């Protein structure tokens, strides 16, 4: 009798060629035939016996079918073989549940790679695994440039579909900032920017190191950077983070300019005013104001951040002093106040009121006395001389000073009298004229004395 059948794929329904069909029996030897291109298999067998047909094909699960023959031909019909594989589908997305294309998914078992796949535009990645691992727990890993790797495990028979979320990772840039001699610079600032937009910035530590973090999407982009520190020339450049994750930058030293604007209380610039900077008793520099009242002093960069003393001077104005911290952007406005010349009041004796009252009587008496008695005129002259000392603020009033002033006044008066006598145009009492001249000279001397005392106290001639 003849046994026939047709073998096909249980999943795709395609006919399987070259599949091994083996007839097993304890009574006879094994008989094996292969299916043709159409999956058909035929073999002869003993009638009235029981056999076991085994169907085998690489990549498919082995299947055994019991057969009992009769005296007639037996057609087993279609025999389906299940593929010896299992499919696991992964959905790759970011933290916002947006599908990620191009993510790589790898499945592993006991350190051995079972398969890998890449996600499509919908974020789907499908792996076909052997049926031998269907019931085993396998490990998977999903990774994509710019994202943190995601890892986990699953059992294919119970988790044929798995959703994986990938989180963005940041790209780090390491900078080391040094001076021209290779010494690390603390406090230097590095700024990364692209298309005019600042991406990130940081300040170096005591070792001159700065670590900046950028979005991973910029890993392959060209980034511009600027490194700067007070007292040094700024340094600029560009880099690609993925190619230059670490960079050493050296800054050139430059002088620090400290600027001043010097003006008076009306905000008018004081051209030619001088500013001096001192530190620890040493003069660091001097500057003279220009037509705008601006003065600049250049200092060594080592004074950056230090507190120094300044002093601004200009003739006729009070000097201004203070303390400032040296920085590159220093611009200090200084206002000088004009020196005020104060009128110094003449300190008169405590009994000035008595002298004042006495003078009220003395003046008319001097005018009238020459007509009364010549002797009274000489007494009046002495009193007027003493009065000149009082009004001139000369103290103490001693007899010697009084006689000295009277003698001086007499000499002046005699000279004046000699001049007037030659004119022969005076028609009044000679004694009256002499007394009048003497009295006028006394007030002149008093005014000169007061003037000299004022100049001596103010130090200026007003």
Q: Which residues contact 319 (CB under 8 A, 6 or more apart)?
A: 311, 312, 313, 336
Confidence (pLDDT) at 189:
94
The confidence band for 208, taking pLDDT boundaries of 50, 70 and 90, is very high
The CATH topology of domain 170-250 is Immunoglobulin-like (2.60.40)
Mean pLDDT, to the nearest integer, of 143-157? 84
The confidence band for 311, taking pLDDT boundaries of 50, 70 and 90, is very high
Confidence (pLDDT) at 119:
92
The confidence band for 316, taking pLDDT boundaries of 50, 70 and 90, is confident
Tell me the CA end-to-end span of the chain in Å, nearest whole number.
150
Least confident of 8-17, 138-147, 157-166, 180-189: 157-166
CA atoms within 13 A on the CB side of 33: 17
Return the higher-pLDDT residue of 157 and 360. Answer: 157
Give the C-alpha separation, 82 to 80, whole Å: 7
> Does the pLDDT of residue 191 top 80, yes or no?
yes
Considering the four listed CATH numbers 3.60.21.10, 2.60.40.10, 3.40.50.300, 2.40.10.220, the one that applies to the domain covering 2-81 is 2.60.40.10
> Does the pLDDT of residue 274 top 90, yes or no?
yes
Least confident of 172-186, 246-260, 382-396: 382-396
The confidence band for 447, taking pLDDT boundaries of 50, 70 and 90, is low
Give the C-alpha separation, 69 to 86, whole Å: 36
Share of the chain above pLDDT 70, in %: 73
Burial class (CB in 10 A: 0-12, 13-18, 19+), 94: middle
Nearest to 316 by CA among 335, 297, 336, 287: 336
Give the C-alpha separation, 381 to 361, whole Å: 14
> Does the pLDDT of residue 127 top 50, yes or no?
yes
The confidence band for 136, taking pLDDT boundaries of 50, 70 and 90, is confident
Q: Which residue has the tokens 């490194």?
A: 227
Q: Which residue has the tokens 């001139």?
A: 392
Q: Which residues pair with 290 in a beta bridge?
A: none
Confidence (pLDDT) at 439:
64
* Centroid of chain to Cα 244: 24
Share of the chain above pLDDT 90, in %: 19
Rg (CA), the chain: 59
Domains 2-81 and 170-250 share a fold: yes
Confidence (pLDDT) at 128:
81
Burial class (CB in 10 A: 0-12, 13-18, 19+), 180: exposed
CA atoms within 13 A on the CB side of 374: 3
Handedness of CA 124, 129, 131, 137 (dihedral sign): negative
Mean pLDDT, to the nearest integer, of 409-432? 60
Q: Is 184 helix (H, G, I), strand (E, B) or coil?
A: strand
Rounded to 5°, angle at Cα 28 from 27 and 29: 140
Nearest to 68 by CA among 90, 46, 87: 46
Confidence (pLDDT) at 457:
57
Domain boundaries of the chain, sorted by first residue: 2-81, 85-168, 170-250, 257-335, 352-458
Return the higher-pLDDT residue of 403 and 83. Answer: 83
Q: Nearest 5°: phi and psi at 404? A: -65, -45
Mean pLDDT, to the nearest integer, of 2-28? 86
> Does the pLDDT of residue 285 top 70, yes or no?
yes
Domain 85-168 -> CATH class: mainly beta
Burial class (CB in 10 A: 0-12, 13-18, 19+), 326: buried
Concatenate the DSSP letters of all residues of 36-59 into one string.
Answer: -TT-EEEEE--TT-EEEEEEE-TT
Does domain 257-335 bear CATH number 3.40.50.970? no
Confidence (pLDDT) at 393:
56
Burial class (CB in 10 A: 0-12, 13-18, 19+), 93: middle
Question: DSSP character for 60?
Answer: B
Question: Is the pTM for the entire model greater than 0.85?
Answer: no
Confidence (pLDDT) at 170:
75
Give the C-alpha separation, 221 to 269, whole Å: 52
Mean pLDDT, to the nearest integer, of 412-427? 59
User: Is the peptide bond between 104 and the residue preceding it cis, with omega within 30 degrees of 0?
Assistant: no
């Amino acid at each position: 009798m003849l046994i026939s059948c047709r073998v096909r794929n249980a999943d795709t329904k395609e006919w399987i060629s070259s599949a091994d069909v083996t007839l097993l029996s304890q009574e006879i030897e094994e008989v094996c035939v292969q299916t043709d291109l159409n999956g058909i298999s035929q073999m002869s067998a003993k009638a009235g016996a029981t056999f076991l047909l085994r169907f085998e094909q690489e990549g498919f699960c082995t299947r055994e079918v019991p057969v009992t023959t009769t005296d007639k031909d037996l057609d087993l019909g279609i025999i389906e073989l299940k593929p010896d594989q299992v499919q696991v589908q992964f959905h790759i997305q970011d933290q916002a549940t947006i599908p990620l294309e191009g993510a790589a998914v790898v499945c592993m078992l006991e350190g051995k790679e079972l398969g890998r796949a890449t996600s499509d535009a919908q974020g789907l990645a499908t792996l076909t695994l052997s049926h031998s691992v269907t019931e085993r727990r396998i490990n998977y890993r999903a990774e994509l440039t710019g994202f943190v790797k995601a890892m986990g495990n699953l059992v294919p028979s119970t988790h044929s579909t798995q959703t994986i979320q990938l989180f963005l990772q940041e790209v780090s840039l390491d900078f080391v900032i040094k001076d021209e001699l290779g010494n690390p610079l603390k406090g230097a600032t590095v700024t990364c920017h692209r298309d005019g937009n600042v991406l990130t910035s940081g300040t170096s530590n005591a070792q001159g190191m700065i670590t900046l973090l950028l979005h991973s999407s910029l890993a392959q982009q060209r980034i511009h950077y600027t490194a700067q520190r007070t007292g040094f020339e700024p340094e600029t450049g560009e880099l690609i983070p993925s190619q230059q994750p670490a960079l050493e930058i050296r800054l050139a030293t430059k002088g620090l300019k400290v600027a001043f604007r010097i003006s008076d209380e009306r905000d008018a610039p004081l051209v030619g005013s001088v500013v001096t900077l001192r530190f620890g008793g040493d003069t660091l520099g001097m500057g003279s104001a220009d037509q705008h009242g601006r003065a600049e002093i250049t200092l060594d960069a080592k004074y950056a951040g230090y507190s120094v003393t300044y002093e601004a001077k200009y003739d006729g104005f009070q000097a201004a002093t203070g303390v400032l911290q040296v920085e590159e952007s220093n611009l200090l406005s200084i206002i000088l106040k004009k020196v005020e010349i104060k009128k110094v009041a003449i300190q008169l004796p405590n009994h000035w009121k008595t002298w004042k009252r006495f003078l009220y009587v003395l003046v008319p008496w001097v005018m009238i006395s020459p007509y009364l008695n010549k002797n009274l005129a000489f007494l009046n002259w002495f009193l007027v001389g003493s009065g000149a000392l009082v009004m001139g603020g000369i103290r103490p009033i001693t007899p010697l000073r009084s006689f000295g002033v009277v003698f001086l006044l007499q000499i002046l008066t005699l000279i004046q009298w000699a001049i007037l006598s030659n004119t022969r145009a005076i028609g009044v009492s000679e004694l009256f004229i002499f007394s009048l001249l003497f009295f006028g000279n006394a007030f002149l001397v008093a005014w000169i004395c007061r003037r000299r005392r004022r100049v001596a106290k103010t130090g200026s001639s007003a």
